[in-house]
Every structure is written in C-alpha cells, then in structure tokens.
Amino acid sequence: METVQVSSSAMVAIGYDSETRILEITFKQGETYPFCNVPENIFIGLKSAQSHGGYYNDHIRDKYQC
C-alpha cells in the first residue's frame, strides 16, 4: 500500500492499494478508516487536492463503504 503524509486540518495520512482498490485515511483523531472499491483516480485526486477535507467530502465520504 502506498501511504503518504498529508498536510490537512482533518487528516494525517492516506494510503491506497491499487490491487485491492482499498483507500485508507488516517484522521487527526487517530482513527484509520478503510474505503473499498475506490478508483485510483480518486486517490490521485485526494493526494493532489488543495483541500484534502473538501475533496474527501465531495468525492469519498458516504460513497465507498467497506
């Protein structure tokens, strides 16, 4: 799984496994949550977003539950 640290008010790190299509987001509260069947372009978009929290809310939240 590729994991990168992010500079965000809500997140600490994000990780993505292209084989399983699982995205993991570690939030500042310390919890890591998995998101399933996430297309790679969504991870790339999150990784490069100006606002990680905004991108999460618009493109990931409530869309890829495991």
Structure tokens at 4: 């990168």
Structure tokens at 21: 């299509």
What phi, psi does 44 have (nearest 5°)?
-60, -45
pLDDT score for 2 = 82
pLDDT score for 55 = 97
What does the pLDDT look like over 6-60, one tens digit per residue? 999 899 999 999 999 999 999 999 999 999 999 999 999 999 999 999 999 999 9
pLDDT score for 1 = 87
Query: Does residue 52 contact residue 35 with C-beta atoms inside 8 Å?
Result: no
Q: From residue 22, how far is each of 9, 14, 50 by CA, in Å?
A: 23, 11, 22
User: 0.85 cut: is pTM over it?
Assistant: yes
Closest CA to 44 of 12, 66, 18, 7: 18
Structure tokens at 63: 């869309």
